[in-house]
Amino acid sequence: MISVTDALHSISSQELDPKEEQRSVVDALGATLSKDVYSPIDMPPFRQSAMDGYALRHSNDMNYRLVDESQAGNDASPKMSARDVVRIFTGALVPDDADTVVMQEHVQANGEEVSVQKMPKPFSNIREKGEQIEEGGLALAKGTQINAAAVGFLSGLGLGDVSVYQKPKVGVLITGNELQSVGAPLKKGCIYESNSSLLKAALRQTGVSDIEMLSVLDDLQSTKDAVKELLDKSDILLVSGGISVGDYDFVKEALIHNNVEEVFYKVNQKPGKPLWFGKKASKFVFALPGNPASVLTCFYIYVYPMLQRWMTGQSFSSERILAKCTSGVANKSGKTLFLKAILNEDGSVSPQGGQSSAMMHTYALSNVLICVPEGKKQVHEGEEVECIKLPL
């Protein structure tokens, strides 16, 4: 059995082999750039008016003569002399001869006669060519996560595709004789199978969409076959249940049979002690103890950081904050505890009542996990504890 710290270190020190792919800018939402992106154009590509108004040459004389118009999308630069103005609109090309745009609210126009009521500073209301980014400039660096603004920015530069880290293909194997699909009344002795939905939701929340699922009974041969099939298809395999020491737990044997090398088995933690982690070439396997709360906690603590690292090409550790605990917690087990808890608006944290690894009701209402380290026998009321924020 290893400590939580060693288990985390063991996982984070595994070399990953994330692949890159070209994706359309809009489909890259949520992905991370695997290469620097340089701008193919100046942005703006020409001197643009930032206002609806009048383009002119700045002076202290406020009277001008209207000579032409520049509408957004027009390509001509009207000729103008020192006393001329050109009617101009937001986004339109500013005539080469003009240095300032006066907003229309500060102008009185009467036919050709234009009188400026309030002259702005020279060069006002003009977006200079390349002021946002120049052609060849670094638009977004490798490692940037693409949000909606980045999609807009890159599209505005005329970019169609970008190079991003490929999301991993994740296999999920569900084991257990007692599990029944949702849709029919429960048979005696059975429970509804929920870890497949739970893991699918947690994976989707992480941004993983390529998920292959299989379910098997507690049977060695079927487990071996399913492990083989899913390992062939995925980069990371998650197994639910069957990894404890019961007579019908066949997952470990099935993994070893498929040449998955054990990295560690059993972590000094509650919940999720029988967690098994292994690898086969560039693929990784997390065999998660089947109780739903163990599955989810092991996912957040161990699987999530690896997925993040895979998808961003960067090291990752979950965000931890300190908060005052509103009640005392005894830890006689000597294990690291991960407690479902609510981070309150006043910044304090309240452990939930139902901490059993089978209880999902309290998990559904939690927004953090309190981490009580092994060896810490008692958390006193009002004492600061470390909390790991759960993704919303």
Q: Which stretches of the chain bind ligand AMP, using CB under 6 A?
A: 174, 176, 178-179, 191, 193-195, 240-242, 244, 246, 289-292
The dihedral built from the CA positions of residue 28, 139, 94 and 123, taken in this order, carries a sign that is: positive
Cis peptide before 78, with omega less than 30 degrees from 0?
A: no
> In angstroms, rounded to a whole number, what is the distance separating the alpha carbons of residues 118 and 58?
12
Contact 298, 289 (CB under 8 A): yes
Return the number of the residue (10 or 244) whose C-beta is nearest ligand AMP: 244
Return the number of the residue (21 or 178) whose C-beta is nearest ligand AMP: 178
Binding site partner of 31, from Mg ion, ligand AMP, none, Cβ cut-off 5-8 A by kind: none
Return the number of the residue (178 or 262) whose C-beta is nearest ligand AMP: 178
Binding site partner of 178, from Mg ion, ligand AMP, none, Cβ cut-off 5-8 A by kind: ligand AMP
Shortest spacing between CB 316 and Mg ion, in angstroms: 31
Binding site partner of 174, from ligand AMP, Mg ion, none, Cβ cut-off 5-8 A by kind: ligand AMP
Return the number of the residue (217 or 256) whose C-beta is nearest ligand AMP: 217
Residues near Mg ion, by CB under 5 A? 176, 241-242
Surface-to-core class of residue 108, CB atoms within 10 Å of its CB (0-12 exposed, 13-18 middle, 19+ buried)? exposed
Cis peptide before 292, with omega less than 30 degrees from 0?
A: no
> In angstroms, rounded to a whole number, what is the distance separating the alpha carbons of residues 200 and 209?
8
Binding site partner of 53, from Mg ion, ligand AMP, none, Cβ cut-off 5-8 A by kind: none
Shortest spacing between CB 289 and Mg ion, in angstroms: 9
Q: What is the DSSP letter of 369?
A: E
User: Phi/psi class of residue 258: alpha, beta or left (left: φ > 0; alpha: ψ in -120 to 50)?
Assistant: alpha
Binding site partner of 289, from ligand AMP, Mg ion, none, Cβ cut-off 5-8 A by kind: ligand AMP
> In angstroms, rounded to a whole number, what is the distance separating the alpha carbons of residues 300 and 286?
12
Return the number of the residue (163 or 194) whose C-beta is nearest ligand AMP: 194
Indicate the angle between helix axes 304-312 and 195-206, nearest 10 degrees.
Answer: 30
> In angstroms, rounded to a whole number, what is the distance separating the alpha carbons of residues 365 and 336?
22
Q: What is the DSSP letter of 290?
A: S
Return the number of the residue (162 or 174) whose C-beta is nearest ligand AMP: 174
> In angstroms, rounded to a whole number, what is the distance separating the alpha carbons of residues 299 and 137?
40
> In angstroms, rounded to a whole number, what is the distance separating the alpha carbons of residues 156 and 140?
13
Return the number of the residue (252 or 309) whose C-beta is nearest ligand AMP: 252
Shortest spacing between CB 199 and ligand AMP, in angstroms: 9
Q: How many CA atoms lie within 13 A of 69 on its CB side?
A: 6
Binding site partner of 234, from ligand AMP, Mg ion, none, Cβ cut-off 5-8 A by kind: none
Shortest spacing between CB 13 and ligand AMP, in angstroms: 27
